[in-house]
Amino acid sequence: MKHLQKLSLLFSLLFCLNHQTNIAQELQEKQMTVQELAEKLEENNIQLQLANAQVDVADARIGDVKTNRLPDIGVDMSGMYLSDVNIYDKHWSKIQKVDIPNFGHQMNISANQLIFAGGRVNKAVKLAELNKNLSENQREDTEQAIKLNATELYLNLYNLQNQKKILQSNILLAEERTKNARYYFEQDMITKNEVLRAEVLERKLKQSIIEIQNAILITNKNLSLFAGLDENILIVPDVSNLDHTIRQQDELFFRQLAYQNNPQLDASKTQLAIAEKNLELTKTDKMPVLAAFAGYNATRPMTSTTPALDYYSNTYQVGLNLSYNIESLFKNRKKAAVDKALIDQAELAKEAVRQQIDAQVNQAYKNYRQAVAQKSVSLVNEAAANENYRITELKYKNQLVTLIEIIDASNTKLQAELQTLDDQTNIILNYVKLLRVTGQL
């Protein structure tokens, strides 16, 4: 019964492994560098397209605000039927009916041009331009965030695919150990439990392959959706041309670079400029408004005479209009106080962003240095683990050590290889995070 359960478990394991392998084989492999991934993101990412659309909207609003510099021109035309005039006395008794021309029409043309309003229109145009700058800052930040998220998926896929290769090579060794264990058992050189240990380790490695393969498919799907790629493509990351070496630059260098280029800091500066411009715009409410106007009127018939005449009455007017909103003397101070409070808030927000950038630069720089240091140690450990496994395997074949010792050596070798891979991935990832916070991604 126990033998049947083992066979059933092994069959299920092999079925899952074959199923995942078949799915992976259906996908067409495509090598892709980080630079090619960035190009695909710029072409296809929906969030980035939405950010570009927001910039276009802000640009259109600038043109809309600029139209306030143009004169307001209107034309009004009407046609009408005029009834004859009935004349009544004070007791509403009809006295007389007067015939007048019954067809009439009227045309009015008017034009108004703002001359002075305290710079209100120019300030509104500048405010619209600042809002466009803010949209551009936000688009840049969105682009940087999208590239970072995509790169994290990309490096995760790189790590998983290399984990799979490491596990596959270790499975070959495990299969060889199991084969040897069975041979030694048949020769009565070892006990049954050593064969079982070898088989368990082999199955555990194959289970790990199933988990890794499933994670590869999920990560590949997410990355394909993110970059707008064909879902039938299996992305094979190629990091060979990615220069991720920090030479003589120190943390201060990257902090200054972030102050100059980080889009979040640029956005906070723009928001402060917008708050200041709103205050300037509020102050224009206290200024008088001077405008020029002109008009032309043509009316038929002339009803101002008795009897009414079927003639055109034409008039025109040209002049200046000066107006002042007295209530602004009382209301403007409250509105200006709000604008000043918003300026203070924007200054605090800018400082908060600066502090956040300091922390992000410090974290990315320190983590990068740590990953570099860890990799150098991991390479030494990996070499030692491989040599230890080689020696232990020779001793096992000569029956100088037990299977437990070679399994321990195998586990040590596997963990050392995986640790080196993790350190290599972390070096690239933290370098990319450093590029993100400095606005260079």
Q: What digits encode the pLDDT tens for the residues 42-64?
A: 888 889 999 999 999 999 999 99
Question: How much is the pTM?
Answer: 0.80
pLDDT tens-digit map of 66-118: 988 888 888 888 888 888 788 887 888 878 887 878 888 888 888 888 888 88
> Is the pLDDT assigned to residue 254 strictly greater than 80?
yes
The neighbour count for residue 319, using CB atoms within 10 Å, is 9
CB 381 within 8 A of CB 419: yes
Say how far apart CA 99 and CA 220 lie, in whole Å: 90
pLDDT for 94 equals 79
pLDDT for 14 equals 47
The neighbour count for residue 51, using CB atoms within 10 Å, is 19
> Is the pLDDT assigned to residue 21 strictly greater than 90?
no
Confidence of residue 154 (pLDDT cuts 50, 70, 90): very high
Mean pLDDT over the full length of the chain: 86
Which segment of 134-138, 194-198, 205-209, 310-314 scores lowest on mean pLDDT?
A: 310-314
pLDDT for 327 equals 80
Confidence of residue 362 (pLDDT cuts 50, 70, 90): very high
pLDDT for 20 equals 52
Confidence of residue 158 (pLDDT cuts 50, 70, 90): very high
pLDDT tens-digit map of 180-210: 888 888 888 878 888 888 888 889 999 999 9
Which segment of 4-18, 34-48, 400-414 scores lowest on mean pLDDT?
A: 4-18
CA-to-CA separations, 65 to 58, 120, 121, 267, 289, in angstroms, rounded: 11, 11, 8, 22, 18
pLDDT for 7 equals 41
Amino acid letter, residue 34 = V
CB 180 within 8 A of CB 189: no
pLDDT for 98 equals 77
Ordered by where they begin, the domains of the chain are 19-70+118-287+329-437 (1.20.1600.10)
> Is the pLDDT assigned to residue 406 strictly greater than 60?
yes
> Is the pLDDT assigned to residue 4 strictly greater than 70?
no
CB 427 within 8 A of CB 419: no
pLDDT for 276 equals 93
Confidence of residue 340 (pLDDT cuts 50, 70, 90): very high
